[in-house]
A and B are shown apart, each in its own frame.
Chain A
Amino acid sequence: MQAKTSSSNYKQLEQKSKYTNIFLRWFLYFVLILFASYFIFPLYVMVVTSLKTMEEIRQGTLLTWPSGLNFDAWAVAWGGRGYGAGDTFLKPYFWNSLKMVIPAVFFSTFIGAMTGYVLTKWRFKGDSWVFLFLLFGCFIPFQAILLPMARTLGALGISNSIIGLVLVHTVYGIPFTTLFFRNYYVSIPTELVKAARIDGAGFFKIFFKILLPISAPIIVVTVIWQFTQIWNDFLFGSTFSFGKAAPIQVALNNMVLSSTSVKEYNVDMASAIIAGIPTLIVYVLAGKYFIRGLTSGAVKG
């Protein structure tokens, strides 16, 4: 066995790697910042455009800084121009969405938690098949249910209503919420439940006194996921409602598409931001739970 390199080679190797390292480091940051600009660009443009007057917009470019912080567009986006019929603004639809999202998130999360609990802690023959059965609902393209759902809502007398949308979102949220809770409860040792049963606790007691208290992380993930999905929904909102009962994304789209007289891009941008702020705030505050929801739901299948 011989030594392969001589000491002078050692020296050269040391220096070469130092220079290439520095160059690579700079290249790394350059590329990362380049992409960051691609991602930030639209947000920047939205905010900046919403603070300009139409005059400024026509004269400047997308990137031009506003001359002053002009919130007029925001006021119009939120509260309208005040001339009665034909004036669309976001305020009522924002509340519609809120009234729709809160019950839907609650019910779908609750049902998902109970279902996940049963599927993992009260095993029975064929429970994997039940899980698969429910899981399938995560993947179907909703186009395959739009028609019958529209008829059903009509038959129940709740078409074009917030309650109708709550039903829709609750039902189609169940596969996802079940997935989250089931995957979470699967990794909680069954010994916990067994010990409780020996202590005499029954089905509901075990759930509320033992599992629920340690479910905080998954509840947060599920609520954030459901909130984001339901708040951002457009397909169900536009198919099953219109006019006064519409949720905010539908209203936003209507506002942007309608060209009454002159296109007011600043109002469009302000509207978009208003429609996007709730989920954006949730993301900024609880981002890691949001990501956990994305990756765990996806990776675990």
Chain B
Amino acid sequence: MKTLKIEELSKNFGTTEVLKKINLEIDEGNFLVLLGPSGCGKSTLLNIIAGLETINEGNVYIDDYNVSKVEPKDRNIAMVFQSYALYPSMNVKENMVFGLKQAKTSKEKIEEQLTKVSSFLQVDELLNRKPSQLSGGQRQRVAIGRALVREPRIFLFDEPLSNLDAKLRVEMRREIKKLHQKLKTTVVYVTHDQTEAMSLGTKIAIMNHGVIQQNESPEIIYNKPSNTFVADFIGSPSMNLIKGKLNESSDKISFTAEGANFDIPINSYDFNNTSELNNKEVYFGIRPEHIYFKKSNEGDFEVNLRADLSEYIGHEQIMTFDLANQELLAKFPSTIKIELNKETKLYFDLTQVSLFDSITQERL
């Protein structure tokens, strides 16, 4: 039994198709992140799971029950909002038990849940305060507490960290991760921040224009992105995508960048489909962290490229190289000094390479 199942879901706002035949499944205890840029449909999908938006086509199942037409309060879900949405005229205690009171839960059960959750989240000192008297981090914990007391089947988070400053964001991210590990709840979490997605999720569904681009574990998404959109969205800085052509002969395959005078052999690449590879227009993808300044593995490809720019970010530096007039970014420790405007030897880790069809943008 899947805790959450989305089947052929489509949603339109007027004439705009916001979600196009979405299919999704989650097992219990999983932390699914819906990741994508603004307008990709992730928040709409979350609202539909919650029951706050109507569906045009398709179904939503929670624990195998079709909840497509069921009110939010009867779906056994709880939600944490970006602005926390705490009721301003009520104090923390009233905020947390409001949902339980609406469900006509017994007084004893309410007390029990309240004590349990407020001590767990360390908000028991704050019970009599109003939201306006709390800090951002405290409000967030109260919002999470409000969701926890209801013991829902699925927790929904709608960009809960976006309103926090950078330092607090990192702290709260770890809190959420610890919470999930302890409680083993099923979570659907919406964010546009790929670092958040990678660190929190057990599964990430990357969305763009209402379509799920890839739905896998963070490792697979990072190492084997299914198309150029995913490759570019994940990673900071994102994967280098070099335009060029494949050359296939009877015994080997190589990649030539547009305007380059050298080939990169890619014989060990795991192709999905090995037909019609010769002269195929492709993008050669390699992450900045997989380009080295000295040989690390046997199969590393050596090449001389001119360094154009260096950006220092503390423990690392991002260097820009020129590969046949296309920019190539590499990440090195900042202790390495590389002269600009001169050619340097670089080593590509060919086991970490991705190839994409330049027309379909799909992974080869």
Contact = CB atoms under 8 A, between A and B. Distances in A.
Answer whether A and B touch in the complex at a CB cut-off of 8 Å.
yes
Interface of A: 1, 3-5, 7, 9-10, 13-14, 17
Contact of A3 (B66, B69, B71, B153): B153
A13 B69 CA distance: 9
Contacts of B152: 1
B65 A1 contact: no
B270 interface: no
B69 A1 contact: no
Contacts of A17: 71
Interface residues of B, number: 13
Nearest to B184: A1
Given A7-B65, A10-B65, A1 B151 contact: yes
Nearest to B64: A7
Interface of B: 62-63, 65-67, 69-71, 74, 76, 151-153
Nearest to A10: B70
Contacts of A4: 74, 76
13 contacts: A1-B152, A3-B62, A3-B63, A3-B153, A4-B76, A5-B74, A7-B66, A10-B66, A10-B69, A10-B70, A10-B74, A14-B69, A14-B70
Nearest to A16: B71
Contacts of B65: 3, 7, 10
Contacts of A14: 69-70
A3 B76 contact: yes
Given A1-B151, A10-B67, 8 more contacts: A3-B63, A3-B65, A5-B76, A9-B74, A10-B65, A10-B74, A13-B70, A13-B71
Contacts of B66: 7, 10
A7 B63 CA distance: 11
Nearest to B70: A10
Contacts of B153: 1, 3
A8 to B, nearest CB: 10
Contacts of A1: 151-153
A14 to B, nearest CB: 5
A16 to B, nearest CB: 10
Interface SS majority for chain B: loop
Contacts of A9: 74
A9 B63 CA distance: 15
A14 B152 CA distance: 20
A123 B153 CA distance: 57
Nearest to B65: A7
A1 to B, nearest CB: 5
A11 to B, nearest CB: 9
Nearest to A5: B74
A4 B69 CA distance: 17
A5 B71 CA distance: 12
Nearest to A4: B76
Nearest to B186: A1
**Across the A-B interface, the 3 shortest Cβ-Cβ residue pairs:** A14-B69, A10-B70, A7-B65
A22 to B, nearest CB: 16
Interface centre among A5, A10, A14 (most CB of B within 10 A): A10
A9 B70 CA distance: 10
A13 B76 contact: no
Contacts of B74: 4-5, 9-10, 13
A111 B99 CA distance: 54
A216 to B, nearest CB: 32
Contacts of A7: 65-66
A19 to B, nearest CB: 14
A264 B76 CA distance: 70
Contacts of A10: 65-67, 69-70, 74
A3 B153 CA distance: 7
A269 to B, nearest CB: 46
Nearest to A7: B65
Contacts of A13: 70-71, 74
A74 B62 CA distance: 71
A7 B62 CA distance: 11
A7 B70 CA distance: 10
A68 to B, nearest CB: 48
A13 B76 CA distance: 14
A7 B69 CA distance: 12
Contacts of B63: 3
A9 B74 CA distance: 9
A5 B153 CA distance: 12
Contacts of B62: 3
Nearest to B69: A14
A3 B76 CA distance: 7
Interface centre among A4, A9, A13, A17 (most CB of B within 10 A): A4
A5 B76 CA distance: 9
Contacts of A5: 74, 76
B186 to A, nearest CB: 9
Nearest to A9: B74
B49 to A, nearest CB: 15
B156 to A, nearest CB: 15
